[in-house]
Chain A
Amino acid sequence: MTTTSDSPGATPPAADGDAEDIILSTEGITKRFGAVVALRGVDMHLRRGEVLGLVGDNGAGKSTFVKIVTGFQRQDAGRIFVEREEVNFHSVTDARRAGIETVYQDLALVPQLTVYENLFLNRELTGLGRLGWLSRPKMRRLATEYLHDIRVSVPDIDAEVELLSGGQRQAIAVARATRQNAKILLLDEPLAAMGAKESTLIIDLVKDLSKNRGVSMIVIDHNYTHLFELCDRLNVIQQGRVTVDTRVADTSVEDLTELMVAEYRRQVREGQALLQA
């Protein structure tokens, strides 16, 4: 186990692995929104085929990090590498081309569009050349097949998403991302609104993608049970920085909580020292 709280911003990459198999890494990602500093130098790495869990309090900066890696927002400073190559995403489309898919915390669904239209949002299948004529029957069929394959049940593929429950919407959002055969999946609280049965379904789907298709993933969740079940490794984000980097096998909920509390204490001491100085 490594904790990096003594030297923030210095996560040693691949401490126990071969440097070659790192699929995604970031260096010193910084982002501020006016007076709020959301990220203050995030160094993170994700190995090929690995499931990395991100934990941290509300407002710690987890979603901001995801939105930067997926090209939706632009970092103020810092660098992103995909398969060791530096990338510069100017849009979500750039990140998709690099093989990165995202389930956003807000789900990014359009209530007035149907289930299948949402599954194909901005990836609509079209015919008739550049006219952009929608191939609705084909989209409908592929959507039905895919949802059936991953055992997600929705009342009606033609139902507007507005009429679905929170958990069903979440399943659609996850299905949209997993359908793409992405190399890297970013899942921002994919289980938040789900009941036990649906959670199990999504957890199994994610495990299957990881084990059988070698998809690398970053999963954000506030539920330690989920994280310990899903992840190979955990990173804790506190105050916009990675403070703990540990393999799941090397830790427990108690250990992790203790480390987080220690970091709070350290921050408080630092604050007091600053005040006294």
Chain B
Amino acid sequence: MRLVQRREATVVIVTIGVVIYFAIRTSTFYSVANLITMAQYTSSIAIIGSGEVLLLVLAEIDLSAGQMYLTAPWIVYLLWADGVPIGWAIVVSLACSVVVGLINGFVTVWLGVPSLIVTLGTNYALFGLVLVESNAIQQNMPGTTGEFGILFGVGSWSVGLWALGIGVVIWVLLKQTRFGTHVTATGGNTLAAAEAGIPVRRVKVWCFMIIAVAAGMSGILDSIRIASLNPGNSGLDIVLPGIVAAVIGGTALTGGRGTVLGTLIGAIFLGVLEDGFNLIGVSANWFFLVEGVVILLAMAVNTQLGSLAARTRR
């Protein structure tokens, strides 16, 4: 019963299921090269998904994180093209990400606009900014050479380890720190949190800044890894898998409950699914059909297990 009570139970079971399926169907699934591919594909989903957990626990959402992921490397590129050393370009770019998070949080909290709308606005604003500044022309990403490049994305396991590290930091932040308790309290019962003296608005703004900087970092790493920048990519295509990973991982949309561990496993699930379909040569079109069905099933099971767990605990 203990296992079923855990919010991550569903995603663990379905992930084990697809891993077994693809391991049997293909001979290359467990090859090192393939594991690296999966880690690389999973990285951005895991990082953005972990950040979304904080916001979902607050009963908020950030739809701009995917576009932040795409915009941050452009800032690095533009600064670098102006002669700024790559390291400083990254620092400034991450600082810009923090500012974007600050704007998202500020408008949501002090102007009372729902974060769904605020961050959709930021998403398009950033997209426009990238198109204008890049003249819609592709560029090569700098910083791909030497040890710097290996550390920041080029190394086989680089992005995977970064994702693991960022995921663990957010996990610890949510579960083991005072700040995390205040996030849960703010999302679970905002009035109660405020009556206990928790600065609920400041807590929210912090979380918008955290996801923005995490997404920005993820984007910089991936761009260095693939060494190119494409201004036409859509941020929503990047943020939505992160949200999916969080939700199938067992994070509620209603606030107060979230699991970074579940989200990391959810990201692995999506990675395994995409990769497995590639390996067995099934058309990518199937991927979305399967993903959609799995989301529906996982949510149905999560809801049922949630009420079952509540009953058995009494």
The interface of chain A, by Cβ under 8 A from chain B, is 72, 91-93, 96, 102, 104, 106-113, 117, 121-122, 124, 126, 131-134, 159, 163
Contacts and interface: CB of A to CB of B under 8 A. Distances in A.
24 contacts: A72-B194, A92-B194, A92-B195, A92-B197, A104-B195, A106-B192, A107-B192, A108-B192, A108-B195, A108-B196, A109-B189, A110-B192, A110-B193, A112-B188, A113-B184, A117-B181, A121-B192, A121-B196, A126-B177, A131-B177, A133-B177, A134-B176, A134-B178, A163-B310
Interface string B183-224: 011011101111111100000000000000000000000000
Interface residues of B, number: 24
Nearest to A111: B188
B189 A110 contact: yes
Contacts of B188: 110-113
Given A110-B192, A122-B182, 14 more contacts: A92-B195, A106-B195, A108-B189, A110-B184, A112-B188, A112-B257, A113-B184, A122-B197, A122-B198, A126-B177, A132-B179, A133-B176, A134-B177, A134-B181
Interface in B154-194: 176-179, 181-182, 184-185, 187-189, 191-194
B2 interface: no
A121 B176 contact: no
Most buried by B among A107, A108, A110, A111: A110
Contacts of B313: 159, 163
Contacts, number: 72
A72 B193 contact: no
A132 B176 CA distance: 8
A131 B178 CA distance: 9
A153 B143 CA distance: 61
A257 to B, nearest CB: 33
B192 A132 contact: no
Nearest to A132: B178
A122 B153 CA distance: 39
Nearest to A125: B178
B73 interface: no
Nearest to A124: B178
Nearest to A131: B177
B196 A92 contact: yes
A133 B197 CA distance: 19
Contacts of B198: 121-122
B49 interface: no
Given A122-B197, A122-B198, A110 B185 contact: yes
Nearest to B197: A92
Contacts of A72: 194-195
A93 B187 CA distance: 20
Nearest to B175: A134
By Cβ-Cβ distance, the 4 closest A-B pairs, closest first, are: A92-B197, A132-B178, A112-B256, A108-B195
Contacts of B176: 133-134
